[in-house]
Structure 1
């Protein structure tokens, strides 16, 4: 069975965006970018909430973005190769290929998707990830912790629930970012 992996960038104080809804508080870094691309290379399906999907869709809809560098072209290629499932009640249609729109998160359907998948899946977006955590679907949690404190905003991990995690791996990057890879205890 494929794993469902929650991958996100968080500030040192645990937020994916600040109080104004901004999540572009970290500078781009080639080393972290290449690592992220390699991580996604083994993923077959990306599960997104609407906001994250809309921000990531540019990797297919804006050719100029991929033309900026070989690293960006590689990421665009990897992102486009994956199937995407977008969960939204407000989005009318999707703008990218190999993308399916779902109106609600259905844990049973995601379990079936994991069971049928030949490669891992990621879940992105804190609200969607919270639903996956609550349903017991998250097999790994991978956090890119950035060396910045934003003081508040949207938490990167679920509130109101406990999840004991076992550290599987960590990596420190030259720019101060730390990648932490966990799995829920008992899985």
Structure 2
């Protein structure tokens, strides 16, 4: 997920416009999506991701490549309020999410907090901006012992940090 330097995924108003990825970061997200065996979303992020169902024709080649990879990845949406979702399996509880081999992406900080015990790696892309509040990347009170296994600075400013559980 994209996060601010002070640890938030969205600001206090729910905005994430500060994390608009430059081409180098977007290329990373394209590769990550191509490697994903399954995407699991909460309702809010699922609704945001609907953009990739049919991006505008004037989209860049990289955006169209991402959209194709996203459309070809199996998806599960966890929601107690949605009645139906197109293009994904709908489950009501995280206990209904099957274990899956391969790279599984968990989308949405609230969902990730609920699934914290099932996540092996955390890969925040940290943007050089402080937003002062909002939804944190890690839930309050969480204690995780992590090992830094990779860092990757992007020319446009953000830095990827990949952490594995110890």
Partner of 1:127: 110
**TM-score, with normalisation over the residues of structure 2?**
0.94
Task: Give the C-alpha shift of residue 26 in structure 1.
Answer: 2.4
CA 1:67–1:81: 2 relative to 1, 3 Å: farther
Runs of 4+ in structure 1 displaced over 3 angstroms? none
- Which of 31, 34, 39 is the aligned partner of 2:24? 31
Q: Is the 8 A contact 2:75 2:89 kept in 1?
A: yes
Q: Could you give the per-residue CA deviations for residues 41-61 of structure 1, whole angstroms, max 9, x where no partner exists?
A: 11110000000011012101x
In structure 2, runs of 5+ residues without a counterpart are none
CA 1:104–1:147: 2 relative to 1, 3 Å: same
**RMSD of aligned Cα (Å):** 1.3
Aligned residue pair count:
166
Structure 1 residue matching 2:68: 3-state secondary structure: helix
Partner of 2:72: 81
Partner of 1:153: 134
Q: Could you give the per-residue CA deviations for residues 19-66 of structure 1, whole angstroms, max 9, x where no partner exists?
A: 111112223301100111101211110000000011012101x341x6
Structure 2 residue matching 1:89: 3-state secondary structure: coil
Structure 2 residue matching 1:123: 3-state secondary structure: strand
Q: Is the 8 A contact 1:52 1:125 kept in 2?
A: yes
Partner of 2:122: 141
- Which of 86, 90, 114 is the aligned partner of 2:81? 90
Partner of 1:113: 99
- Which of 40, 62, 67 is the aligned partner of 2:33? 40
Task: Give the C-alpha shift of residue 132 in structure 1.
Answer: 1.2
**TM-score, with normalisation over the residues of structure 1?**
0.84
- Which of 77, 89, 92 is the aligned partner of 1:100? 89
Q: Is the 8 A contact 2:3 2:19 kept in 1?
A: no
Q: Is the 8 A contact 1:12 1:147 kept in 2?
A: yes
**Distance in 2, Cα, partners of 1:149 & 1:120:** 30
In structure 1, runs of 5+ residues without a counterpart are 1-7
**Distance in 2, Cα, partners of 1:63 & 1:9:** 21
**Distance in 2, Cα, partners of 1:170 & 1:140:** 13
